[in-house]
Amino acid sequence: MPALFFTGINMSDWFLLSESEPLPGSWNMAVDEYLFEQARQKQVTYVRFYTWLRPTASLGCSQEVSRVVALDECQRRGVDVVRRMTGGKLVLHHLEVTYSVSSGESDIFTSTLEGSYRLISSALIKGLELMGLEPVLASSTSRLYARSDLPCFAYPARNEIEIKGKKIIGSAQKRSGNCFIQHGSIPLVSELELLLAISTGLPPARRDYLTSITDELGRNISYEEAVGYFIEGFRFYFKRDFEPLILTTADLDRIKVLESAKYANPDWTLRKLAPVSI
């Protein structure tokens, strides 16, 4: 990966958690929520990159399970199911880079969902450009997609990232005042067959639009290599450097409690349990 040389980097309260070990879906969601709460309390920014131990279907916080995912098929194929704290549509996570940004710094990210969404997308675009790709922001959201139970990657939504009309990154955001978390899926490899098996499916005309970084580059790319590009994209776009984040024993204990009470709890996944914070 080419080195970037630029001036004007500001040291600020930005922390990076880059995890190369694949982790269970319930743990991933608990860490994201914990960082969101910490960002809100401390008015700092956390950027995290991670991946998944097993294929995992994540549901938007308000989605009805029976309308979007086949639980029996997930069990048969060894696919875990979790529910996110954010909205949006069904995502199949597996061979991908997942990112999350949690921040209480509205002076950097603006105080609006659209403003912060667009800024983060611009940093992700820079990472893709460093790989040699030509991504753009989607200009609008299809009405058919917005009202449907189709999976996340069926169509790009406004300010999401696409390459030649194909969504390459799917994201979702949750806000509390001026604090927010945004996280998203960046497929390294397309898994159309598995997605079709566990979801409500894709219209035949949209199946050729499912893509990945490997598809677009025309070569294999590892998780570590892709994460390196995205980290440089954030540094370059925001002109910020990162302090490495090391989770303490106390942090890990709080995350374990949140995972057990919420994200590993079937009552939360099946929407029998109201949203909780630990």
* DSSP codes joined into one string, 182-195: EEEEEESS--HHHH
Alpha carbons 237 and 129: distance in angstroms, whole number = 12
Return the bridge partners of 183, or none.
100, 172
| Region 163-172 average pLDDT | 93
- Map residue 173 onto helix, strand or coil: strand
Specify whether the CB–CB gap between 85 and 29 falls below 8 A: yes
Look at residue 176 and tell me whether its pLDDT is greater than 90.
yes
Q: What is the mean pLDDT of the chain?
A: 91
Specify whether the CB–CB gap between 26 and 82 falls below 8 A: yes
pLDDT on residue 7: 38
Residue 127: name the closest of 247, 8, 225 by CA: 225
pLDDT on residue 5: 37
Alpha carbons 224 and 258: distance in angstroms, whole number = 28
Q: What is the CA radius of gyration of the chain?
A: 18
Question: CB under 8 Å to 101, separation ≥6 — which residues?
Answer: 45, 46, 47, 48, 120, 180, 181, 182, 183
pLDDT on residue 154: 77
Would you place residue 187 in the very low, low, confident or very high pLDDT band (cuts 50, 70, 90)?
very high
CATH number belonging to the domain at 13-269, selected among 3.40.50.300, 3.30.930.10, 3.30.470.10, 3.20.20.210: 3.30.930.10
pLDDT on residue 159: 82
Alpha carbons 274 and 262: distance in angstroms, whole number = 9
pLDDT on residue 149: 81
pLDDT on residue 20: 95
**Domain locations along the chain:** 13-269
pLDDT on residue 201: 81
Question: What are the tens digits of pLDDT across the range 134-163?
Answer: 999 987 777 766 667 888 887 777 888 999
Question: What are the tens digits of pLDDT across the range 45-81?
Answer: 999 999 999 999 999 999 999 999 999 999 999 999 9
Q: What is the pTM of this model?
A: 0.92
Question: What are the tens digits of pLDDT across the range 210-253?
Answer: 999 999 999 999 999 999 999 999 999 999 999 999 999 999 99
Report the number of secondary-structure helices (H) and strands (E) in the chain: 11, 11
Look at residue 9 and tell me whether its pLDDT is greater than 50.
no
